[in-house]
Chains A and B, each alone.
Chain A
Amino acid sequence: MSTTILWTLVIITLLGLVLAVVLYFVALKFKVVEDPRIDEVEKVMPGANCGGCGFAGCRAFAEAAVKAPNLDNNYCPVGGNDVMAKVAAILGYEIQQKAPMVAVVRCNGTCEARPRINEYQGVQSCRVKAALYAGDTGCSFGCLGCGDCVEACQFGALSMDPVTGLPVVDEEKCTACGACAKACPKAIIELRAKGPRGMRMYVSCVNKDRGPAVKKACANACIGCGICAKTCTHDAIVFENNVAYIDFTKCKLCRECEAVCPTGAIHGVNYPKPLDVEGIKARIAARKAAAAAAPAEGGPSSQIAKENAHQAQPTAAPAEGAPSSQVTKENAHQGQPSAVAGGKEETNKEE
């Protein structure tokens, strides 16, 4: 009896030893050398595996980041600058900082503003709906309202407003991964810079139709009148295909375009004070009057006047209010100091 147990133990021990030796050599032979930094990078990643960086998940991002010579093309929008600083520290690369972004819904076609002209009974999916037809309102560019973006968001940052029928972005939760922008068949959602203290301006419409058709379809739409582009002193408004677009890299948040927009298509968000339409309009009028007066004083031709204004910046800029006459569009663009000063001044006012 006892010998049986003894023999069993001996054989099993021997077998174990032999196999251990085999396994040792197999492990040596098939050893995969992996950069230990990949694991380290992955540890500091948010772990959402959302794909916002362009890679399949956080691990794939970590592998790519370790392989790349710098962090120029690899940025985790979800983790933001904090995570990227940690990644840069691990890899010893230069820190990649980007302005934080947020998803912005560029459609303001609420149920009230955009009457439904037909009824959709098909599958409640924007993509299915978009493949079938232009939508149940007169606007063929606007939000379809089935909430594909809400479904696409992994962070619970989007929800449909039952009153307006439009998606609402929760800025606290939005990580700017871009999943909603990809899911939207109408390309309404855009990632824009969050702006200082969340303040930002955007045109909440993408309708490319001509004015009369747009007006008929939606009361809140951009009708392509171009007043905003004429008013903007920072050259931030691009006007193309009958719709305005605010370039957030140039916008100085002065809210002038928002004040002059006849349909309310331009939105300024997170400003601490409500929009002072009259005040801003008075400011624009004063500037225009001064600009009209300036060429007569400055020289025989307006061209020269403009050039003068550009050169005469140091003297012109510090003067209060009226001298912004020289800030014609051209020099506002070229003559940075005055433009920036003006912008800051206005922002301060609003705070």
Chain B
Amino acid sequence: MATRTFSIGGVHPKDAKISRGCAIEPLPLPPTVYISMSQHIGAPAKPLVAVGDKVKVGQPVAEPGGFVSAFIHSSVSGTVKSIGPRKDLAGNPQTCIEIAVEGDEWMEGIDTSDTLVTTIDDDNKAVLEKIRLAGVVGLGGATFPTHVKLSPPPGKTCEMLIINGCECEPYLTSDFRTLLEKGEQVVVGAAILKQVLHVDKAVIGIEDNKPEAIKHVRSIIKEFQKISSKYAGISVMPLMKKYPEGGEKQLIDAVMHRQVRSGGLPIDVGAVVQNVATALAVYDAVQKNKPIVDNSVTVTGECFPKQANLLVRVGTPLQYIIDYLGGVPADAVKVISGGPMMGKAIANLDAATVKGTSALLFLRADQTVRGQESQCIRCGRCADACPMGLEPFLLNKLAKNADMEQLEANAIQDCIECGCCLYSCPANIPLLDRIRIAKGQVLGIIRARNAKK
């Protein structure tokens, strides 16, 4: 049987998972951490601590600043040194709590042992509250607060939970290592999510370039299904390797053969998608009372001498991670946070990690320098590559002319900014850069219009 994949577009960048053999190792504690108040989509969190306060690992240091917002916890034990603006990796100031690390004392009630807890609490409300209090956000990239996603709007029912283990971005291996090393916890996390959403089916989608992970997770599920009925209905689905398989809408298309309409949400077609790392965070939150204080970060790149998958405390300065592994290599010209397709170039290495940081990628000049832009020859490669079925060449032209009505009519608001168009363009036209700006403008217009109604 041919493996499934999404039906429209997609590209096949070089896999380059060169750090796949590196087990996740914990990074030694940095001397200082800087915990950002904007680690999630939505309103920034509001600090709960004051300068001079002693905090422990896992202690909440900030509360949600709105409905779509999340708790933030101290990732270290120590003293709050300052609360104020600090530059994030793009150089824009964000409110951060600076904590000087002293020892490693955890909050009472957090289970720091490695024992696997497979019995799941039946009280869904309590489980959901635990997820909320633990500040769990989607760790697949968007960092959308998980408890909001787990509370479907009334009238919408969820039919299937999809656990996203695609990791379709080249270079990234943190999810793959998580599946191999903490597969049991991920499966328990999936079972918890399944129970909260009241669905019978949960599918863990894994791309077929990770056969070890597929095999490993399958065997775990088999074991667990013997223990409890709560693990029934969980299965692994191998998916054909294609970028951007891990995109929410693409994954739903691949797994369920359903397409989310323009402007719709996954729940409209009965799906909820959660990342592997999120499932692990849910396990930690519910079974171990452990909030998000650390996440695994892939540090990689052909020019980087030491590949690594590190378990990094939230708020660790990037420079500290890089120094631990031997500093920035001489021939690296660009450091990217995230993968090469959707990641952001880092302008400020003094910035600290956030919950959603998934990778640090070092690129050489020949891997990153853009070619000279030339004329569009209407070859249509971008339109072939676009996984949302858009026409990037047209959107680019309309964006240049600032034709907002036509941009909206041509569904620019559906762009997922995956970068397939840019990747496939033989004329080096910066399609995504222009489309992203225009998309922001169109979304602004749509929001203003909806607010008027």
Contacts and interface: CB of A to CB of B under 8 A. Distances in A.
A134 B437 contact: no
A121 B344 contact: no
Contacts of A125: 433-434, 437
B370 A134 contact: no
Contact of A121 (B90, B370, B434, B437): B370
A140 B430 contact: no
Contact of B90 (A127, A132, A138): A132
Nearest to B441: A127
Q: What class of interface size applies to chain A in its complex with B?
A: 10 to 19
Given A123-B433, A128-B436, A134-B92, 15 more contacts: A119-B333, A128-B437, A131-B440, A132-B90, A132-B344, A132-B345, A133-B90, A133-B92, A133-B344, A134-B87, A134-B91, A135-B347, A138-B91, A140-B91, A140-B92
B369 interface: yes
Interface in B335-357: 344-345, 347-348
A46 B432 CA distance: 38
B125 to A, nearest CB: 40
A3 interface: no
A180 B91 CA distance: 24
A121 B369 contact: yes
A209 B440 CA distance: 27
A350 interface: no
Contact of A133 (B93, B345, B369, B430): B345
Interface string B52-82: 0000000000000000000000000000000
Nearest to B84: A210
Nearest to A119: B333
Name the prevailing secondary structure of the B interface residues.
mixed
Contact of A134 (B90, B333, B436, B440): B90
Contacts of A121: 368-370
A118 interface: yes
A129 to B, nearest CB: 9
A119 B369 CA distance: 11
A73 B405 CA distance: 29
A274 interface: no
B437 A131 contact: yes
30 contacts: A118-B347, A122-B370, A122-B433, A123-B430, A123-B434, A125-B433, A125-B434, A125-B437, A127-B437, A128-B430, A128-B434, A128-B436, A128-B437, A131-B436, A131-B437, A132-B90, A132-B344, A132-B345, A133-B91, A133-B344, A133-B345, A134-B90, A134-B91, A134-B347, A134-B348, A135-B91, A136-B347, A140-B92, A140-B93, A209-B93
A123 B93 CA distance: 23
Interface string B356-384: 00000000000011100000000000000
A134 B87 CA distance: 9
Interface residues of B, number: 20
A140 B91 CA distance: 6
Nearest to A118: B347
Nearest to A208: B93
B94 to A, nearest CB: 11
Contacts of B93: 140, 209
A137 to B, nearest CB: 9
Interface in B73-123: 85, 87, 90-93
Contacts of B92: 133-134, 140
A140 B434 contact: no
B430 A122 contact: yes
Interface string A104-138: 00000000000001110111010110011111101
Contacts of A119: 333
A118 B368 CA distance: 14
Contacts of A117: 347
A261 B352 CA distance: 35
A321 B99 CA distance: 55
Nearest to A138: B91
Nearest to B370: A121
A305 B368 CA distance: 69
A138 to B, nearest CB: 8
A122 B90 CA distance: 14
A9 to B, nearest CB: 51
B8 to A, nearest CB: 26
Contacts of A136: 347
B80 to A, nearest CB: 19
Nearest to B89: A133
Contacts of B344: 132-133
Given A131-B440, A133-B347, A140 B87 contact: yes
Contacts of A138: 91
Contacts of B368: 121
Contacts of A128: 430, 433-434, 436-437
A138 B92 CA distance: 10
Interface in B262-321: none
Contacts of B436: 128, 131
Contacts of B87: 134, 140
Q: Which 10 A-B pairs have the closest CB atoms?
A: A134-B91, A133-B90, A123-B433, A123-B430, A133-B347, A128-B433, A134-B92, A140-B91, A118-B347, A133-B91
